[in-house]
Amino acid sequence: MNAVALDIQKIRQDFPILHQEVHGYPLVYLDSAATSQKPKSVIEALSRYYLETNANVHRGIHTLSELATSQFEATRSHVAHFIGGVANEEVIYTRGTTESINLVAQAWGDLNIQTGDRIVITEMEHHANFVPWLRLAKRKNAEIVYIPITGDGLLDLAEAEKLITPNTKLVAFTHMSNVLGTINPVGALTELAHKQGALVMVDGAQSVPHLQVDVHELDVDFYAFSAHKMLGPTGVGILYGKQQHLEAMEPYQTGGEMIHMVSFTDVSWADLPWKFEAGTPNIGDVVAFKSALDYLDEISMESIRQHEIEITQYAMDSLKATGVITIYGPEDVSLRGGAVSFVVDGVHSHDLSTILDTQGVAIRAGHHCAQPLHSRLGVNSTSRASFYIYNTLDEVDRLVDAILQARRYFVRG
């Protein structure tokens, strides 16, 4: 499908939350990298589920349970199609990206990482794709090394090639940085990893909402993302894993739903994907997630990416034109997504976000769960504006005006 310009005003009509005032100003929501807003269709699907079909899945033989199960599994098929046409068995429901990565770190890591093995991650990881590997390395007495970033916020591929050694068992990295916006070359890194016999875990929390992702084409072993950053409800995540890896792994949690047979002395596991889905899952939110995927399909990922490029370019140009703002991450918008982190000369990022909030502009301030990256950048914190399908260029103007006003307040004369 070709990219068609998004009709932003029409899209905004689907997001009731955006039509409100905050501190007397029309809300400008620029924090979609933290969580996106939800269209009416998703909210209605959630309420319809509880009004009409709520029941537990995979157990009852009554009508509501069958309906709930078929809706729950329909979302799985849609996800499988959405990420490139994988098998349903390869799509595991979790609570979010964080849980998806922890699942791999425990269920795969425990079996496959030994003393002296190497785990390669990068300097730009979110803590969700950092702490589980650091912990695994410490637990197993393995070595963890970091692919460095270049001055313009890209991964240093020459260094990556040197770091991915024959004793490397896993290479884990983000597809799109939540701080720098950088889109990493998944294919090239995966090739380097596979050449050494290492598996690849990709954190897709920021990329799946913004890019067309085909995990087959990328040839990655594991890929994780969250529904709530892509118009869906909170509390639902996806772990994609190649079937042969998932088959070889032990369960992550045990209990109901994930067993084939239990006796007083023994237990056997359910088939994929249920082997990794112990307990009653988040049925209502999974069901509503399908409406989010329908919405994204309807407007198309190509058009979403085109809008992201346009608004990110406009924002970077406008922020730069102030002459008082340092932006982190690649300058070339074709290499980055719509999370733009920056520091305003003379204004602390927390003060900035507090002042912006008084003008109805919602941004994020802090280390964005990427403390090692911030220390690498030599700053304690940054401010971050992040854009999605409902943001307009006018809202970027509101952001820049509000920043300049805040600066006049803090930096007098």
Residues annotated as part of the active site: 369
Q: Is residue 132 close enough to count as binding ligand 7TS by CB under 6 A?
A: no
The interface mask with ligand 7TS, positions 38-77, x = CB under 6 A, is ----------------------------------------
* Residues ≥6 apart with Cβ < 8 Å to 109: 132, 133, 136, 140, 170
Query: Among all chains, which residue has been given the structure tokens 């992201």?
Result: 308
Within 262-321, the residues that bind ligand 7TS by CB under 6 A are none
Pick the binder of ligand 7TS from 96, 209, 233, 329 (CB under 6 A).
96
SS3 content of the chain, % helix, strand, coil (to 5): 45, 20, 35
Q: How many residues does the chain have?
A: 413
Q: Which is nearer to ligand 7TS, 68 or 213 (CB)?
A: 213
Q: Is residue 126 close enough to count as binding ligand 7TS by CB under 6 A?
A: yes
Reading the block at residue 62, the tokens are 């009554």
Within 191-230, the residues that bind ligand 7TS by CB under 6 A are 203, 205-206, 226
Which spans in 270-368 are helix H?
A: 283-299, 301-321, 349-358
Pick the binder of ligand 7TS from 368, 374, 398, 407 (CB under 6 A).
368
Distance between CA atoms of residues 5 and 324, nearest Å: 32
CB of 170: closest distance to ligand 7TS in angstroms?
Answer: 16
* Residues ≥6 apart with Cβ < 8 Å to 114: 140, 142
CB of 248: closest distance to ligand 7TS in angstroms?
Answer: 25
Pick the binder of ligand 7TS from 75, 168, 174, 383 (CB under 6 A).
174
Q: Is residue 33 close enough to count as binding ligand 7TS by CB under 6 A?
A: yes
Pick the binder of ligand 7TS from 86, 107, 128, 238 (CB under 6 A).
128
Distance between CA atoms of residues 1 and 24, nearest Å: 41
**DSSP structural state of residue 389:** T
CB of 127: closest distance to ligand 7TS in angstroms?
Answer: 8
Strand partners, 261: 268
Q: Is residue 362 close enough to count as binding ligand 7TS by CB under 6 A?
A: no
Query: Among all chains, which residue has been given the structure tokens 């409406």?
Result: 291
Reading the block at residue 401, the tokens are 């005006």
State the residues that interact with ligand 7TS by CB under 6 A: 33-34, 96-98, 126, 128-129, 174, 178, 203, 205-206, 226, 364, 368-369
